Homo-oligomer: A and B are copies of this chain.
Amino acid sequence: MTATTLWSKGGAHDPTIARYEAGRNAALDALLARHDLWGSLAHARMLRAIGWLTAGEWRALAGALRALLAEAEVGNFALAPGEEDVHSAIEHRLVERVGPAGSKVHLGRSRNDQVLLALRLYAREALPAMALAALDTAAALADLAARHEWTPMPGYTHMQRAMLSSVGLWAAAHAEALLDDCVALAAAHTLSDQMPLGSAAAYGVPLPLDRELVARLLGFARVHTNVLAAGNARGKIEAATVQALALVMLDLSKFAQDVLLFTTSEYAFLQAPAELCDGSSIMPQKRNLSALELVRARAQTVIALQGQMLSTLAGLPSGYNMDYQETKAPFLEALALCRDSLEVARLFAVGIEPQPDRLAAACTPELFATDAAYGLARAGTPFREAYRTVAQGAGGEAAGDLGQRLRARTSTGAPGNLGLPTLARRIAHERTAWEARRAHLASALRQLVSDQAERSSVSSTTSSSASPAAEAPHDPSQPFAAPGI
């Protein structure tokens, strides 16, 4: 195994140590192959621009990188046994395919800044996908709210019946929560949108690297300026991403817990479609909503993952520490769990069927005790006295026409004034913003991989006006792009 490490100096490496260091790295790194290849292509392009690659070397490297990228795109990039990480694997293959020039792509880079770059690109790809998935789920919930805007439902506090609510209010509340999360996702995106390459081992190198060019080629909003700051942000920016995911999972866990309660025999407010349920190996009658129980549990998993990342990072000194490696798995795992949980929640939002009869029957008089007290208060009784009068009396009033009751709640956002068109506009607004983020990255990468990038970028150091990526800000004095827009 030792023969293939980039740092081998000839001595043996204890196999227990090697295995311990490898951990699950090979499997995880395969997920980063495309991102490392994009980064390598941009780096090579820059080395050519500053004259550290000859035209021939660049052509050879670019061709090989594009070929590897095509293989990775179809999932044909797996680490061989003994390949320490994706960065080593790519360097090996480049050397195999184009000879010594292959290793020149490592000039001016360290694996430390390579992995920084790969993880940032991964986040910039994953976060728009995540936000758009959240918006899909929100849209499904908004649809459910629209279908059942006037279906009454008891509202609970302390798990006890409290006040009149509606399926519309309930479903739209879950949609709105996901919209809030887009703010946190956007902040994570802003932090990830800083180009770290050129920091090398976090202290720079004595080469005239053009970091702005690399940022432009990869569509980054800015260079992560201070090279040590770039290195020190390893893990932290990924943790900030997982923090945002934890908020999403929090919302999904509440939705899951609500649906789990509301589909019990005792509530029976909602019915879940059989194809989303599973059964028991011993009890023939069971229809379990196991997937929602897992959403609930995986919320705790993602919360733990962000805590793990942060605890691992706290107290580490400046500069690369191997501890950072342990933040890669939780980052990738949290992204996958959250993405899948959003899709599960969406399936349930689409599939659950409210049961109007059961819901109406549960709207018992106690829900209207506050209304009764307000009635007395409107007629002049001080509220605390009215409260006690009602509390000592029948404990409520006959429900009457539930629809009319709902319509009487007219303040912004109350059951009689849900503002569903506004909700729809907010979803649309967020979708536009996230599709723009996604398109911006895709366009930069397309140009990078195609000939366009090649042609344009060479001249970009002298004039950026012709650059197809010119819309991306790259002045390091530029403040962060505004998340949420």
Contact = CB atoms under 8 A, between A and B. Distances in A.
Interface in A174-220: 174, 176-177, 180, 183-184, 186-187, 190-191, 198-212
A366 interface: yes
A226 B483 contact: no
A225 B278 CA distance: 29
A322 B310 contact: no
Contacts of A452: none
A349 interface: no
Contact of A390 (B284, B298, B371, B388): B284
Contacts of A112: 157, 282
Interface string A276-314: 101111111111111101101111110111111011111
A458 interface: no
A364 B264 CA distance: 13
Interface residues on A, range: 35 or more
24 contacts: A6-B279, A16-B340, A21-B278, A109-B282, A110-B280, A110-B282, A156-B318, A169-B203, A169-B227, A176-B225, A205-B414, A250-B313, A257-B317, A283-B369, A284-B369, A284-B387, A285-B369, A293-B323, A297-B323, A301-B312, A301-B326, A413-B476, A419-B476, A482-B485
Nearest to A242: B243
B230 A159 contact: no
A370 interface: yes
Given A21-B291, A284-B370, A298-B326, A274 B11 contact: yes
B9 A162 contact: no
Given A111-B282, A305-B308, 18 more contacts: A5-B279, A11-B275, A162-B283, A163-B203, A163-B283, A170-B318, A176-B229, A199-B413, A207-B374, A226-B419, A227-B411, A250-B310, A257-B316, A283-B370, A297-B325, A303-B308, A304-B307, A419-B476
A107 interface: yes
Query: Can you tell how many copies of this chain the complex includes?
Result: 4
Contacts of A286: 7, 157-158, 160, 162
Interface stretch (A64-72, A98-106, A435-443, A459-467): A98-106
Interface stretch (A37-45, A116-124, A125-133, A422-430): A422-430
Nearest to A384: B103
* Most B-side CB within 10 Å, residue of A8, A286, A296, A390: A286
A323 B344 contact: no
A246 interface: yes
Contact of A280 (B201, B237, B482): B201
Nearest to A418: B226
Contact of A7 (B104, B281, B366, B414): B281
A319 interface: yes
B284 A411 contact: no
A180 to B, nearest CB: 6
Contact of A282 (B19, B233, B370, B408): B370
Contact of A383 (B103, B183, B226, B240): B103
A48 interface: no
A362 B314 CA distance: 26
A201 B257 contact: no
Contacts of A304: 304-305, 307-308, 311
Contact of A411 (B198, B267, B391, B408): B198
B294 A300 contact: no
Contact of A163 (B107, B201, B425): B201
A325 to B, nearest CB: 7
A379 interface: no
* Most B-side CB within 10 Å, residue of A110, A180, A250, A280: A280
A484 interface: yes
Interface string A406-417: 001111111110
